[in-house]
Amino acid sequence: MRTAEAICTKRGARLTDIRRRVLTSVWSSHAPIGAYDILAGLNADSGKIAPMAVYRALDFLMEHGLVHRLASLNAFIGCALADERHTAHFLICRACKSATEMDGAAVTRAVKKTLTAHGFIPEIEIIEIQGLCAHCSDQDVRRP
């Protein structure tokens, strides 16, 4: 949480109580988690929180690089590299739904080169690669 606070302070942003609680929920899940699962957990802990409050908190946390949204899972995951701006690359296991953020400097360079060649200006850059993690692969999980 100190890292998140330092990032927000450095950027002149405020880590409010609800933002902190949503971030804690995402970070403590250790797996991609949906907004309504976050909401259910927060409401089980204390009172009634509106879905919009969770979505606004998630928007803030994404804007400041503290969490990523995995579109293919419609879920959120904590950022392993929150203190640096980067393009997110994820390996997502279709069997166990684990997601691992990888350091993809070479991939980022290749994508930027292609974007430049096409004069394309990206707004969101997240690369999601789906397959089987080492554990599920070892368990001989069958392909669909």
Q: Residue 123's pLDDT band (boundaries 50, 70, 90)?
A: confident
pTM comes to: 0.84
Torsion angles phi and psi, residue 78, rounded to 5: -65, 150
pLDDT attached to residue 30:
80
* pLDDT, average across residues 19-35: 93
pLDDT in tens, 39-50: 999 998 777 899
User: Within 10 Å of residue 47's Cβ, how many Cβ atoms?
Assistant: 7
* pLDDT, average across residues 84-105: 86
**Tokens 């789906």, residue located:** 130
| Ordered DSSP codes for 22-46 | HHHHHHHHSS-B-HHHHHHHHHHHS
Residue 127 has pLDDT above 60, yes or no: yes
Residue 101: half-sphere exposure toward Cβ, Cα within 13 Å: 20
Residue 122 has pLDDT above 70, yes or no: yes
Rounded to whole angstroms, how far apart are CA atoms 115 and 110?
A: 9
Helix, strand or coil, per DSSP, at residue 41: helix
Percentage of residues of the chain with pLDDT beyond 90: 54
Q: Residue 59's pLDDT band (boundaries 50, 70, 90)?
A: very high
CATH of region 2-138: 1.10.10.10
Torsion angles phi and psi, residue 127, rounded to 5: -110, 125
More confident residue, 54 or 83: 54
Residue 44, phi-psi category: left (phi > 0), alpha (psi -120 to 50), beta (remainder):
alpha
Helix H segments across 11-143?
A: 17-29, 35-45, 51-63, 105-118, 134-138
Element (H, E) at 127: strand 126-131
**Tokens 């293919």, residue located:** 72
